[in-house]
Amino acid sequence: MLKYLVKRVLWMIPLLIGISLISFFIMHLAPGDITNNEAAFNPKASEESRQKLRELYNLDKPVIVQYGLWLKRMGTLDFGNSFASHQKPVFWQTTDKDGNVTKGMIQEALPITLMINILGLIITLTLAIPLGIIAARKYTLWQDKSITLFNFIGFSIPGFWLSLLLMYWLGVMNNWLPISGLHSINYESMDTWSKVKDSISHLILPVIIPSVTGLAGITLFVKNGMLDVFHQDYITTARAKGLSEHKVVYTHALRNALLPLITIIGLSIPGLIGGSVIAETIFAIPGMGKLFFDSVLMRDFPVIMGILTIGSALTLIGNLLADLAYAWADPRVRRGVVRK
């Protein structure tokens, strides 16, 4: 087990290097650089001052030298400072000589995106597992068909369109939910209970809308998994032994059907992180997706590199955790009977 773990962790290093190479290559497709952003397009700005900028950021050096410099700093987890946002550190906070702490951009954005996605995942799973079980038990009956259709409709709606409709309906017309943002403006002056209520009400739409679109895949997965298990010998045996259908489904079948779900969740991490761009833009949430999109538009290379690398590293860690969880949950893997 330990050997397996060490091997898996070591495996991540070449993958990370591959990821950083691809990211670096993509960034240099860009003809523009930081000196071209809107702010710089002012009749009073001079080309001279832009040249100065370029030298400062090593943008005048060959790509390979820039990559080398970047890799060297990576060794110490130093992702550098943002070009565009007043030299804020990309990854983690720094403290200057006067003791002022500047928070890192990813440090601020990542917890928000993670929180929303984890909440979304919990909601998706709570809905998808029962729906999948119903669909499997009523396979090809109307319950199965309506669940499938309902899921597919959720999956097929352009998310931003659904968001805007719900924002108008729930936020403007009925004033049930806040429209955008993470907190009300007077958040700091609230008591604890109001703070909790406030945060929850702000999170409802941004958490639920992506879950609706993610539901279809997981439901289908649970359904297929259950169907597979239903045909296994041991279930037939269990049924033959006269166990109640309830017991067959919930103790024997479900357990085995849900195991592969762990892997699926691990694999869905990059999609969740990437999918946050539109939701975060529309709901005014300062998470990873919004940060990435802003950085792309500003050509803020250190931030783009930082997010691609950290986002991918998270995926790798997620997959690793999923594999470990799988090994823990499946005794055959744990005992080394089955190689994973």
Partner 1 sequence: MNKLNAFLLKSSLSVFCAIFIASCGKPTLDTTDYNKIYPSQTGGTLIDATIGEPSGLIYMVAGESAAAAISGNIFNKLLKYDKNLDLEGELAESWLISADQKTITFKLKPNLKWADGKPLTSQDVLFTWKLVIDEKTRSPYASDYQLVKNAEAPDANTFIVSYDQAYAPALDSWSGLQILPKHLLEKQDIHTTAFARNPIGSHYYKLDSWTHGENLKLSRNALSVLGPANIDKLVTRIIPDNSAQFLELMADNIDSMGLDPIKYSRIIPARPELQKKLALYKELGNSYTYLGFNLKHKPFDDVRVRKAINYAIDKQEIIDGVYLGLGINIASPYKPGTRWSNPDLKPYPYDVAKAKALLKEAGFADSDGDGILERDGKPFAFEIITNQNKEREKSAVLIQRRLKDVGIDVQIRAIEWASFISRFIKTGDFDVVVLGWGLGLDPDQFSIWHSSQNQPGQFNFINYNNPKIDALLEQGRLELNPEKRMKVYHEFAKVLLEDSPIVYLSAGYGLTAIHKRVKGISSPAPPAGIGYNSEQWYIPQPLRRVETGRNEIAEK
Partner 2 sequence: MNKALFKRALSNPLAMVGFIIIVSVFILAMLAPFISPYDPNDIDVKAILLGPSWQHWMGTDGLGRDVLSRMLHGGRISLLVGLVAVGIATAIGIVLGAISGYYRGWVDTFIMRLVDVMLSIPSFFLILAVIAFLTPSIWNIMIVIGLTSWMGVTRLVRAEFLSLSGREFVLASRTLGAKDARLIFTHLLPNSLTPIIVSAVLGVAGAVLMESGLSFLGLGVQAPQASWGNILTDGKEYIQFAWWLSLFPGLAILITVLGYNLLGEGLRDALDPRSNNK
Helix (H) or strand (E) holding 101, with range, is: strand 101-102
Quick check: 157 binds partner 2 (CB under 8 A)? yes
Task: Tell which positions 267-306 bind partner 2, by CB under 8 A.
Answer: 267, 270-271, 273-275, 277-278, 281, 292-293, 296-297, 304
**Which is nearer to partner 1, 8 or 50 (by Cβ)?**
50
Single-letter amino acid, residue 339: R
Q: Which residue has the tokens 């079948």?
A: 253
Q: Determine which residue in the list 143, 180, 224, 256 makes contact with partner 1, applying CB under 8 A.
A: 180
Residues 182-221: x where in contact with partner 2 by CB under 8 A, - otherwise, as a string:
----------------------------------x---x-
Beta-carbon count within 10 A of 151 CB = 25
Q: Is 339 exposed, middle or buried (0-12, 13-18, 19+ CB in 10 A)?
A: exposed
Q: Which of 10, 161, 189, 191 binds partner 2 (CB under 8 A)?
A: 161
CA of 131: how far to CAs of 159, 177, 305, in Å? 22, 27, 40
Classify residue 128 by burial, with Cβ atoms within 10 Å: 0-12, 13-18, 19+. Answer: buried
Is residue 189 involved in binding partner 1 (CB under 8 A)?
Answer: yes
Q: How far is CA 240 from CA 243, 296, 303, in A?
A: 7, 61, 60
Which residues, in sequence order, are CB contacts of 31 under 8 Å at separation 6+?
Answer: none
Q: Which of 5, 13, 30, 118 binds partner 2 (CB under 8 A)?
A: 30
Task: Choose the one of partner 1, partner 2, none that binds residue 46, judging by a C-beta under 5 to 8 angstroms depending on kind.
Answer: partner 1
**Residues in touch with partner 2 (CB under 8 A):** 14-15, 18-19, 22-23, 26-27, 29-32, 139-140, 145, 148-149, 152-153, 155-161, 164-165, 168, 172, 216, 220, 224, 227-228, 231, 267, 270-271, 273-275, 277-278, 281, 292-293, 296-297, 304, 307-308, 311-312, 315-316, 319
